[in-house]
Amino acid sequence: MSDKFDLNNIAGIKGLSDKEAANRLTAEGFNEIPSAKKRGIFAIAMSVLREPMLLLLIASGVIYMVLGDIQEAIMLLGFVFVIIGITLYQEQKTEKALEALRDLSSPRALVIRDGASRRIAGREVVRGDIIVLAEGDRVPADGVVLDCNNLMLEESLLTGESVPVRKAEAQESTEMERPVVIIRLSYIPVR
């Protein structure tokens, strides 16, 4: 496969056209793992109300009411509802912070489209894209290695391996069913 691609002459590689990439992105969707369904305020409230300690405090407040000590019951239940309010607020803030972190951690990819290399969001990589990686880059998608020199990938997040794994060029011709990867340097961590 290395006779088709030259690591030192990336400018000679055409890649997908912008139109074809946009069509594939529309037809196949983004290159991302579906995120968990966002929890609404009602779902968060239900999870808070299922907490055993809060249920115990509410039950204690109800027992105070049944026994006739209304002042103690109102005070206890009032504090319980304040705690529920604070917990709801914190849970919503946590959900928003996690969503922001997910967006922030999205890798960027150097792809070749219309004969020019450009950086795009990793979620916009489509089947058939030619991805150029260098040392330290994160691999944005599953792919077929077309050309590389002494490629080793750190796959510890995927497999738990503590040692980088050696990779080689694909031996057979591929129908571009996955993004294609051309490696410029030798050691790349997969994150």
Q: Each residue of 141-171: pLDDT tens digit?
A: 777 777 777 778 887 767 777 888 887 777 7
Instruction: Please give the average per-residue pLDDT across 86-104, as a whole number.
Output: 81
Helix (H) or strand (E) holding 188: strand 187-189
Half-sphere exposure of residue 104, counting CA atoms within 13 Å on the CB side? 6
Distances (CA, A) of 67 to 34, 57, 81, 143: 52, 15, 21, 69
| Predicted local confidence at residue 190, as pLDDT | 46
E-strand ranges in 78-186 read 108-113, 116-121, 130-133, 144-147, 151-154, 165-167, 180-183
Q: What three-state secondary structure class fits 16? A: strand
pTM assigned to the model: 0.55
Statement: residue 186 has pLDDT above 50: no
Q: What three-state secondary structure class fits 59? A: helix
Question: Residue 118: what are its φ and ψ, rounded to 5°?
Answer: -150, 150
| Predicted local confidence at residue 89, as pLDDT | 92
Residues of the chain with pLDDT > 90, as a percent, come to 21
| Predicted local confidence at residue 70, as pLDDT | 92
| Predicted local confidence at residue 176, as pLDDT | 53
Q: What three-state secondary structure class fits 93? A: helix
Most confident of 68-82, 146-160, 170-184: 68-82
**95, 144 Cβ separation under 8 angstroms:** no
Label residue 13 by pLDDT band (50, 70, 90): confident
CA distance 149 to 123: 26
Q: Which residue in 142, 191, 189, 190 sits closest to 170, CA to CA?
A: 142
